[in-house]
Amino acid sequence: MSIVDPPTWGHAAAEWLAAIGTVAVALIAIFQEWFRRRVFRPRLTLNARVGRPAAEKFIWEMTGGRPNVDVYFFRLEITNKGNAPARELQLYVASAERLKQDGTYQVVDRFSPMNLLWTHTDNPTLPMLLPGMPPRFCDLGHIADPSRSGETGEQLPGGAAGDGVLALDLEVKANSLSYLLEPGTYRLALKLAASNHPPTDYTLEIKFPGKWFDEQEKMFSDGFGLRLV
């Protein structure tokens, strides 16, 4: 009958050291990933101004042989000032408030919160924004020549003749016309976020007297105003 020698302390110690080494490697990998995310990350900022290229006059091409319509587009600038790409960016309009005569703001009840569209994409999500690059633009809204509102369909019931309408460039143009704002001073609550960047809140003030000017510089100075508050 053969006798099997019991495991030696040296053999057991080697197994323990191997297990400890495996755990240590896993912990180091986790720490490295945590450290990388702490050091290398995007830093998104939003800027609002009225002037090219954030604001421009365009031609709205109509169908059915109808004459084209002049339209002003207004955009917000998004910049990544961090040291890592921002991924899957969205800019969300959480609420809209209108200034009353007594100096307070009242919630626009008919407004429907949703994302804005990124310029030239018709998409509410931007796949990536690299650090150190020029700003990317997100469409805020547009104002079409009010004399052609019957053809563009951007008019509100009961609106004053000749007044413009601010059409927010949201991901859905609701049949309730909740994306259309009559002349006034507004504050929009914005949330800028990415899949690897926490939401950042902004308050955007819009001054829109409803006047239309064919001259672009006149429109930018007297027909529309933007600022972060």
Please choose, from the candidates 214, 146, 152, 141, the residue with its C-alpha nearest in 3D space to the C-alpha of residue 180.
Answer: 141
Question: Are residue 118 and residue 190 in the same domain, yes or no?
Answer: yes
Give the pLDDT of residue 96: 98
d(CA 37, CA 58): 42
* Mean pLDDT for the stretch of residues 38-53: 92
Query: Taking residues 28-50, what's their average pLDDT?
Result: 74
Tell whether 22 and 97 lie within a shared domain: no
Pair 46, 34 in one domain: no
Question: Could you tell me if residue 13 is inside a domain?
Answer: yes
Q: Note the pLDDT of residue 181.
A: 96
Instruction: State how far the Cα of 169 lies from the Cα of 174, in Å rounded to an integer.
Output: 11
Residue 195 within any structural domain of the chain: yes
Q: Does any domain span residue 163? A: yes
Give 71's pLDDT tier (boundaries 50, 70, 90).
Answer: very high
Same structural domain, 175 and 156? yes
Interior angle at CA 198, CA 136 and CA 97, nearest 5: 75
pTM, two decimals, is 0.82
Cβ contact 99:107 at 8 Å: no
Which structural domain, as residue segments, surrounds residue 164?
Answer: 42-228
Answer yes or no: is pLDDT of 62 > 60. Answer: yes
Task: Assess whether 101 and 212 both reside in one domain.
Answer: yes
Task: Please state the rounded mean pLDDT for residues 13-29.
Answer: 66
In a domain, 129, yes or no: yes
Q: What are the Cα distances from residue 208, in Å, to 74, 99, 186?
A: 12, 11, 8
- 2, part of any domain: no
Same domain, 179 and 198: yes
pLDDT at residue 35 tops 50 = no
How many structural domains comprise the chain? 2
Residues 184, 76: one domain? yes
pLDDT grade for 34, boundaries at 50, 70 and 90: very low
CATH number for the domain that contains residue 176: 2.60.40
pLDDT at 151: 86
Q: Please check whether residues 33 and 55 belong to one and the same domain.
A: no
What string of DSSP letters covers 21-54? HHHHHHHHHHHHHHHHHHHS---EEEEE-SSTTT
| Residues 48 and 19 reside in one and the same domain | no
For strands 44-48 and 69-80, give the pairing: antiparallel
Residues 16, 29: one domain? Answer: yes
What would the pLDDT profile of 140-194 be if each residue is shown by its tens digit?
999 999 999 888 889 898 877 789 999 999 999 998 999 999 999 999 999 999 9
82-140 pLDDT tens trace: 999 999 999 999 999 999 999 999 999 999 999 999 999 999 999 999 999 999 999 99
The C-alpha atoms of residue 22 and residue 50 are separated, in whole angstroms, by 58
